Amino acid sequence: MVRLPLTEEEVERGQRLGALLRRARGERSMLLTALEAGVSPETLRKIESGRVATPAFPTIAAIAAALGLSLDEIWSEISKTPHISRLAS
């Protein structure tokens, strides 16, 4: 299967998602969080770093549950409009 390149908006949304998950995880270890969510630590690391900009919904739902985040909170954060200066370029 050929994957289409991600748009700039998808990349930015993935970066916002990663930042939100890192903030929510706080001082908790990545390993503990990943184990509680039922995902590999490598998967969590890639999502938090923005390397996986479009993770599967069940993966995000599991991580959100482990961190005590609602999916509404996540959607609200990641669907914000990109910074105005980027729209002008």
pTM value > 0.85: no
Average pLDDT over residues 50-79: 94
**What type of residue is 79?**
S
CA–CA separation, 73 vs 48, rounded Å?
A: 16
Q: 17 and 6 in contact (C-beta within 8 Å)?
A: no
In a domain, 87, yes or no: no
In a domain, 3, yes or no: no
| Distance of alpha carbon 9 from the chain centroid | 13
CA atoms within 13 A on the CB side of 33: 26
**Residue numbers of the domain that contains 47:** 9-80
In a domain, 14, yes or no: yes
Number of domains in the chain: 1
* Region class of 79: left (phi > 0), else alpha (psi between -120 and 50), else beta: alpha
In a domain, 86, yes or no: no
The pLDDT tens digits of the residues spanning 21-34 come to 999 999 999 999 99
CATH number for the domain spanning 72: value is: 1.10.260.40
Neighbours of 15 (CB within 10 A): 16
pLDDT-based confidence at residue 80 (cuts at 50, 70, 90): confident
